[in-house]
Structure 1
Amino acid sequence: MQFHHHGYVSGDPRVQPAAGVGIERPAELPEHVDVLIVGTGPAGMLAAAQLSQFPAVTTRIVERRGGRLAIGQADGIQARSVETFQAFGFAERIIAEAFRITEMAFWKPDPKDSSRIVRAARAADDPAGISEFPHLIVNQARVLDYFAEFMANAPTRMAPDFGLEFQGLEVAGDGEYPVSVTLLHTDGPDEGTERIVRAKYVVGADGARSKVRDSIGCTLAGDKANHAWGVMDVVAGTDFPDIRTKCAIQSGSGGSILLIPREGGHLFRMYVDLGEVDPADNGAVRNTTIEQIIAKAGAILHPYVLDVRNVAWHSVYEVGHRLTDRFDDVLPAELGIRTPRVFITGDACHTHSAKAGQGMNVSMQDGFNIGWKLGHVLDGRSPEGLLSTYSAERQVVAKNLIDFDKLWSSLMAKKPEEFENPSELEDFYVRTAEFPAGFMTEYSPSMIVGEATHQGLATGFPVGKRFKSAPVERVCDTNPLQLGHQAAADGRWRIYVFADQAAAGAPSPTTELAAWLANAPESPLAATPDGADADAWFDVKVIYQQDHTGVDITAVPAVFTPEVGPFRLTYLEKVYGTDPTADIFELRGLDRGGVIVIVRPDQYVANVLPLTATAELAAFFAPLVPVRLTGSASGSALTP
Structure 2
Amino acid sequence: MQFHVNGFRAGDPDVHAAAEAPVRVNGANGLPEKVDVLIAGCGPAGLCLAAQLAAFPEIATMIVEPKDGPMEKGQADGINVRSMEMFQAFGFADKVKRESHWINETTFWMPNPEVPGEIARVGRVQDVADGLSEMPHVLINQGRVHDMYLDVMRNSPSRLEPDYQLQVVDLEVDAEVSEYPVTVTLEHTAPGREGERETVRANYVAGCDGARSNVRRAIGGALHGDAAHQAWGVMDVLVTTDFPDLRMKCIVQSQAEGNILVLPREGGHLVRFYVELDKLDESERVADRGLGIDDIIAKAARIMAPYSFDVKEVVWWSIYEIGHRLTDKFDDVPAGQTGDRTPRVFTAGDACHTHSPKAGQGMNVSMGDAFNLGWKLISVLTGRAAPELLHSYSDERRAAAKGLVDYDHQWARIVSAPPSDGEGGMPRVQRQFIDGGTFTAGLTVQYAPSALTDDDRFQGLAPGFEIGKRFHSAPVVRLSDAKPMHLGHVIEAGIRWTVFLFAPRSPQALDDLCTRLENDPSSPLNRYRREGEDIDTLIDFRGVFQQGIRDLAYGDMPPLLRPGVGRYGLTDYEKIFCADVKSGEDIFDMRGVDRDKGCMVVVRPDQHVAQVLPLDADQELVHFFGGVFQMPDGG
How far apart are 1:309 and its partner, in Å? Answer: 1.2
Matched residue, 2:486: 482
How far apart are 1:26 and its partner, in Å? Answer: 5.8
Matched residue, 1:414: 417
SS in 1 for 2:324: strand
Matched residue, 1:630: none
Give 1:612's aligned amino acid: D
Contact 2:249 2:262 in 1 (8 A): yes
SS in 2 for 1:639: coil
Give 1:363's aligned amino acid: S
> Does residue 495 of structure 2 align to residue 491 of structure 1?
yes
Shift in CA distance, 134/361, structure 1 to aligned 2, threshold 3 Å: same
Matched residue, 1:559: 560
CA–CA distance in structure 1, aligned partners of residues 167 and 232 of structure 2? 30
Contact 1:218 1:325 in 2 (8 A): yes
Q: 1:379 aligns with which of 379, 382, 401?
A: 382
Matched residue, 2:153: 151
Shift in CA distance, 21/133, structure 1 to aligned 2, threshold 3 Å: farther
Contact 1:228 1:285 in 2 (8 A): no
Matched residue, 1:587: 590
1:114-145 residue CA offsets vs partner (Å, 9 max, x unmatched): 01111111111012330110000001110010
Give me the TM-score of the superposition, normalised by structure 2.
0.96
Matched residue, 2:394: 391
Matched residue, 2:574: 573
SS in 2 for 1:35: strand
Matched residue, 2:254: 251
Matched residue, 2:163: 161
CA–CA distance in structure 2, aligned partners of residues 519 and 26 of structure 1? 46
SS in 2 for 1:567: coil
Shift in CA distance, 113/213, structure 1 to aligned 2, threshold 3 Å: same
- The number of aligned residues is 627
Shift in CA distance, 497/22, structure 1 to aligned 2, threshold 3 Å: farther
How far apart are 1:552 and its partner, in Å? Answer: 1.5
Matched residue, 2:448: 444
Contact 1:166 1:182 in 2 (8 A): yes
Q: 1:49 aligns with which of 48, 51, 54?
A: 51
TM alignment of 1:293-332, pairs within 5 A: 293-332=296-335
Q: 2:214 aligns with which of 211, 214, 227?
A: 211
How far apart are 1:60 and its partner, in Å? Answer: 1.4
Contact 1:461 1:467 in 2 (8 A): yes
Shift in CA distance, 464/235, structure 1 to aligned 2, threshold 3 Å: same
CA–CA distance in structure 2, aligned partners of residues 510 and 235 of structure 1? 58
How far apart are 1:189 and its partner, in Å? Answer: 7.5
SS in 1 for 2:250: strand
CA–CA distance in structure 2, aligned partners of residues 334 and 72 of structure 1? 41
CA–CA distance in structure 2, aligned partners of residues 210 and 327 of structure 1? 12
How far apart are 1:106 and its partner, in Å? Answer: 0.5
CA–CA distance in structure 1, aligned partners of residues 26 and 151 of structure 2? 18
Matched residue, 2:368: 365
Contact 1:21 1:57 in 2 (8 A): no
Give 2:471's aligned amino acid: F
> Does residue 357 of structure 2 align to residue 354 of structure 1?
yes
Shift in CA distance, 456/536, structure 1 to aligned 2, threshold 3 Å: same
Contact 1:529 1:638 in 2 (8 A): no
Give 1:167's aligned amino acid: V
How far apart are 1:392 and its partner, in Å? Answer: 0.2
> Does residue 550 of structure 2 align to residue 525 of structure 1?
no
How far apart are 1:318 and its partner, in Å? Answer: 1.2
Matched residue, 2:348: 345
Alignment RMSD: 1.6
How far apart are 1:158 and its partner, in Å? Answer: 1.3
How far apart are 1:417 and its partner, in Å? Answer: 4.8
CA–CA distance in structure 1, aligned partners of residues 221 and 269 of structure 2? 42
CA–CA distance in structure 2, aligned partners of residues 42 and 481 of structure 1? 28
Moved more, 576-585 or 441-450: 576-585
Percent same amino acid among aligned pairs? 48
> Does residue 420 of structure 2 align to residue 425 of structure 1?
no
Matched residue, 2:551: 550
Matched residue, 1:509: 509
SS in 2 for 1:440: coil
SS in 1 for 2:161: coil
Contact 1:20 1:56 in 2 (8 A): no
Shift in CA distance, 286/180, structure 1 to aligned 2, threshold 3 Å: farther
Matched residue, 1:142: 144
Matched residue, 1:639: 634
Shift in CA distance, 373/276, structure 1 to aligned 2, threshold 3 Å: same
SS in 1 for 2:117: strand
Matched residue, 1:63: 65
Matched residue, 1:12: 12
CA–CA distance in structure 1, aligned partners of residues 441 and 339 of structure 2? 35
CA–CA distance in structure 1, aligned partners of residues 366 and 395 of structure 2? 15
Give 1:576's aligned amino acid: F
How far apart are 1:55 and its partner, in Å? Answer: 2.9
SS in 1 for 2:118: strand
Moved more, 306-315 or 27-36: 27-36
CA–CA distance in structure 2, aligned partners of residues 524 and 368 of structure 1? 24
Give 1:56's aligned amino acid: E
Moved more, 471-480 or 494-503: 494-503
5+ long unaligned stretches in structure 2: none
Matched residue, 1:536: 537
1:16-66 residue CA offsets vs partner (Å, 9 max, x unmatched): 222376489769432111111110111111111111222321111111111
Give 2:531's aligned amino acid: D
Give 2:615's aligned amino acid: L
CA–CA distance in structure 2, aligned partners of residues 562 and 160 of structure 1? 38
Moved more, 126-135 or 316-325: 126-135
Q: 1:265 aligns with which of 268, 274, 283?
A: 268
SS in 2 for 1:81: helix
SS in 1 for 2:439: coil
SS in 2 for 1:415: coil
How far apart are 1:191 and its partner, in Å? Answer: 5.1
CA–CA distance in structure 2, aligned partners of residues 211 and 346 of structure 1? 13
Shift in CA distance, 284/195, structure 1 to aligned 2, threshold 3 Å: closer
